[in-house]
Structure 1
Amino acid sequence: MQRRDGQLNQEIIINLPLEPHEVPTLRELVGWDGRHSDYPILFERCNFWAGLRDGKNELIAFGYIAGMGLQHGYMEDIIVHPQHQRKGIGQALVNKLLQEAERFGLEIVTLTYDSKHNTFYSDCGFVPCPGGLWRRKD
């Protein structure tokens, strides 16, 4: 949530306590597959996550960083509820995750994203670079 001065009313929390259904519900609200079977297993396997609740205590933002916890981490699932997008919450979420990555000792954080989000992630400090993607054949 945002105040008139552009600041968030509530704080983005690292490892915010979550119910297993909350992230899949938020994923579905932005048009993604809910991946219900991933939760709560994901919380046991990622390095850390961050979340934000609104005044009604509903989850409105979520993201996480996974990896071996050594030098490199992978940021994934940066999600902001459609009714709360374009208010600075996504950038605050990414920044909070990167601050935690630094505190955690990670030196490199990578992510993949649709090219339409180039400006957003560049503004968050990411440098676009080439990469590759492998998918299992069905």
Structure 2
Amino acid sequence: MTDIRVKFAVDDRELSTLHALAFGGEVEVTAWGARLARHALTWVGAFSNDQLIGFVQVCWDGGAHAFVLDTAVHPEHGRKGIGKRLVLAAAEEAKAAGCEWLHVDYEPHLTAFYVDACGFRPTDAALLKLR
């Protein structure tokens, strides 16, 4: 059984480890709790036996627009609908906060997930690398 929890108490090491497993790379412990408290509208976690196996955060502009960031599912728990549950829960939280739009940027190989599974409408967007 997978539990979905909103604004759960974040363990920085646990979330940093999940992030590294989901996106590749070394574990660098990030101050996730402080970052989320400062910048996020909400965050949602998926837990199996109290272990964090999935995560997504939503940042916003303080008004109508919210943004999905850092959608991550532990590789051993992928392809089971956990990511979809996380994103849909995050969307409900953004809607409840009064947001009108939920944006997400994604790489082409994730189109089926965000568009087909989660219901996003594809749009043109642009990206500027700052560093």
Q: TM-score, normalised by structure 2?
A: 0.90
2:9 alignment partner, SS class: coil
How far apart, in 2, do the equivalents of 1:100 and 1:40 lie? 18
Tell me the equivalent position of 1:28.
20
Pairing partner for 2:70 from 77, 102, 111: 77
Question: What 5-or-longer segments of structure 1 have no aligned partner?
Answer: 1-8
- Give aligned-pair identity as a percent: 29
The change in CA–CA distance for 1:63 and 1:34 in structure 2 (over 3 A counts) is farther
Is 1:10 aligned to 2:2, yes or no? yes
1:28 alignment partner, SS class: helix
Pairing partner for 2:107 from 114, 117, 130: 114
How far apart, in 1, do the equivalents of 2:14 and 2:74 lie? 12
Within a 5 Å distance, the mapping from 1:51-130 to structure 2 comes to: 51-55=45-49, 57-122=50-115, 123-130=117-124
Answer with 27-36 or 15-24: which moved more.
Answer: 27-36
Pairing partner for 1:48 from 42, 52, 57: 42
Q: TM-score, normalised by structure 1?
A: 0.85
How far apart, in 1, do the equivalents of 2:26 and 2:96 lie? 31
How far apart, in 2, do the equivalents of 1:105 and 1:95 lie? 16
1:17 alignment partner, SS class: coil
Tell me the equivalent position of 1:136.
130
Coordinate RMSD, CA, aligned: 1.5
Q: Say which structure is richer in helix.
A: 2
Aligned length: 128
How far apart, in 1, do the equivalents of 2:127 and 2:14 lie? 28
Question: What 5-or-longer segments of structure 2 have no aligned partner?
Answer: none
